């Protein structure tokens, strides 16, 4: 068992808060995210044929790949079977797989940065299983810190305490703004019509005055 903290870093905004300058923690992330980070100790590429062997080989961190690849140095195959044996088939995304794998490697302390999985994003479907995994690991005695500002800090509305979004008056404000917009459009049309009428009337008067002369 390791006393080191594993910082899982995703692509969300809070990734910038990760302690990259602290040598006492390990930074684990995906290959796609690692390109934008100042440091990564362990990276994961669990897709098929997204990156060339040359690019993967150039990454200095230790690499876990979906399949064995002798052309990529400092790499090994990701043992998905061990994860499914321990947790079942609950892995719809890379970050959940990385977190579970770190636990199987003996780590018990984790910090999450840049991992949002907000319900209204393409990762929303991954959220429930990821939160289940967090609960599972906490029940096993793990410490899991979620950085402030992350989209997974607030998992749901607190029953009978938090006001549902539709009751916050937002819908009313939108409807009021929409009505005002339509009224402004009509007023703008009326003004343009009156301006055109006035300009035409003045032109006609000027024409009549010119003929009298």
Q: What pLDDT does residue 68 have? A: 95
Does 187 lie in the same domain as 138?
no
- Average pLDDT of each block of 10 consecutive residues along the chain (213 residues)? 89 91 96 94 94 95 96 97 95 94 97 82 76 94 91 74 61 69 75 72 70 59
Q: Is residue 135 part of a domain?
A: yes
**Structural domain of 190:** 167-212
Q: Is residue 195 part of a domain?
A: yes
Same domain, 39 and 78: yes
Residues 128 and 180 in one domain: no
Q: Among the three residues 111, 146, 181, which one is the final residue of a domain in this structure?
A: 146
- Residue 154 inside a domain? The answer is no
Whether residues 31 and 71 share a domain: the answer is yes
Q: Do 32 and 116 lie in a common domain?
A: yes
- Tell me, yes or no, whether 92 lies in a domain: yes
Has residue 160 been placed in a domain? no
Give CA–CA dist 79/90, Å, rounded: 15
Same domain, 23 and 54: yes
Residue pair 79/85 in contact by the 8 Å Cβ criterion: no
Q: Using CA atoms, how far apart are residues 64 and 28, in angstroms rounded to an integer?
A: 11
Residues 77 and 177 in one domain: no
pTM, two decimal places: 0.73
CATH number of the domain at 99, please: 3.90.1480.10
> Residue 47: inside a domain, yes or no?
yes
- DSSP letters, 32-83, are HHHTTSS--SEEEE-SSSSS-HHHHHH--SEEEESS--TTSTTEEE--HHHH
Q: Name the residue with tokens 């999450």.
A: 112
Q: How many domains does the chain have?
A: 2
Are residue 7 and residue 103 in the same domain, yes or no? Answer: yes
Between CA 61 and CA 51 the distance in angstroms is: 15
In this structure, the answer to whether residues 110 and 197 fall within a common structural domain is no
Determine, yes or no, domain membership for 93: yes
R_g of the chain computed on alpha carbons? 29
User: Do 179 and 115 lie in a common domain?
Assistant: no
Which of 116, 146, 176 terminates a domain? The answer is 146
Residue-level pLDDT at 154: 67
Q: For residues 188 and 87, state if they share a domain.
A: no
Q: Determine, yes or no, domain membership for 157.
A: no
């Amino acid at each position: 068992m390791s006393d080191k903290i594993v910082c899982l870093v995703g692509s969300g905004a809070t990734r910038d808060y990760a302690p990259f300058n602290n040598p006492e923690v390990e930074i684990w992330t995906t290959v796609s995210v690692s390109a934008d980070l100042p440091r990564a100790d362990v990276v994961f590429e669990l897709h098929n044929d997204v990156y060339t062997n040359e690019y993967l080989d150039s990454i200095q961190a230790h690499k876990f790949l979906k399949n064995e690849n002798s052309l990529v140095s400092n790499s090994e195959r990701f043992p998905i079977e061990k994860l499914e044996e321990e947790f079942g088939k609950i892995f719809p995304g890379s970050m959940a797989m990385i977190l579970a794998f770190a636990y199987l490697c003996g780590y018990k302390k984790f910090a999450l940065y840049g991992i949002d999985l907000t319900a209204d994003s393409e990762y929303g479907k991954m959220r429930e299983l990821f939160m289940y995994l967090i609960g599972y690991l906490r029940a096993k005695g793990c410490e899991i810190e979620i950085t402030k500002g992350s989209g997974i800090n607030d998992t749901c509305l607190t029953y009978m305490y938090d006001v549902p979004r539709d009751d916050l008056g937002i819908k009313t404000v939108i409807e009021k703004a929409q009505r005002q917009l339509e009224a402004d459009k009509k007023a703008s049309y009326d003004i343009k019509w009156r301006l055109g009428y006035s300009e035409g009337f003045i032109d006609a008067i000027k024409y009549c005055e010119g003929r009298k002369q």
